Amino acid sequence: MKASCLINNYNYAHFITEAIESALNQTYPFYEIVIVDDGSIDESVQLVKKYQERYPQIKPLEQANSGQLSCFNQGFLKSSGDIIDLLRNRLEGHQIDDCSNKIDSYSESISTVSVFG
């Protein structure tokens, strides 16, 4: 089962490194980490590009400032995972593992599962 992480960014230079590290340090590795920038004017875009050089699963997207909902929509459109996590702050190291296990336990009886928390 492939897991995607979706991170929205708008001038989050002070936080984006921690968010990316949190996504990279999961016990269940993300197939892709989609980072949608919403027209940032700080150095956060450059920080994301530096991470992309080292981690090919990081997929940065840039758009003109359109708001958080637009970022989520773009991220969903570009994500290919069976599980899509919307990173709003920091993930615990086992969070995606737990989610995957819950989905596996239900997958034979239903076609779509949403797990929150």
Residue 34 lies in a domain: yes
Over the stretch 58-89, which tens digit does the pLDDT of each residue have? Answer: 999 999 999 989 998 999 999 999 888 888 65
pTM for the structure as a whole: 0.78
Containing structural domain, residue 76: 3-106
Query: What is the reported pLDDT for 102?
Result: 60
On the question of pLDDT at 117 being above 50, the answer is: no
Nearest to 80 by CA among 116, 113, 31: 31
Does residue 56 sit within a domain?
Answer: yes
Using alpha carbons, list the distances in angstroms from residue 29 to 34, 51, 85.
Answer: 14, 16, 12
Is 30 a member of any domain?
Answer: yes
